[in-house]
Amino acid sequence: MEAARRWALALARGAVPVGLGLLLWAAVGAGEQQRQETLKELPEVSAELLAQRRRHNELVMAALREAAETDENVARRPVPWRK
């Protein structure tokens, strides 16, 4: 009987942090969706700006891909994709 009570107490102690974590995760997730919607509605966000950001991200990813594929220290090279 005592072992069952200790088992139930241990299970409850383990479930509390998991439950709190799930609640926080749900709260943050809802806030993130709201933030994304707000950012989409900003007047500064134009198709041109998004295209520039996309191109910059492509260049950065290309540099990272090149760095991953070579043993050379690409950080010492002049970087052609800087603004």
Task: For residue range 10-65, list pLDDT tens digits in order.
Answer: 998 999 999 999 998 888 877 777 888 887 777 777 778 888 989 999 999 998 88
Q: Is the pTM of this model over 0.75?
A: no
Same domain, 16 and 50: no
Task: Go through 42-71 and write b for each residue having 16 or more CB atoms within 10 A of its CB, e for each that does not.
Answer: eeeeeeeeeeeeeeeeeeeeebeeeeeeee
Same domain, 28 and 8: yes
Same domain, 51 and 36: no
| The pLDDT value given to residue 80 | 66
| The pLDDT value given to residue 38 | 81
In a domain, 82, yes or no: no
Same domain, 36 and 5: yes
Domain residues for the domain of 3 are: 1-42
Q: Please give the tally of structural domains in the chain.
A: 2
Q: Which two tokens stand for residue 44?
A: 């500064």
Same domain, 24 and 50: no
Same domain, 62 and 51: yes
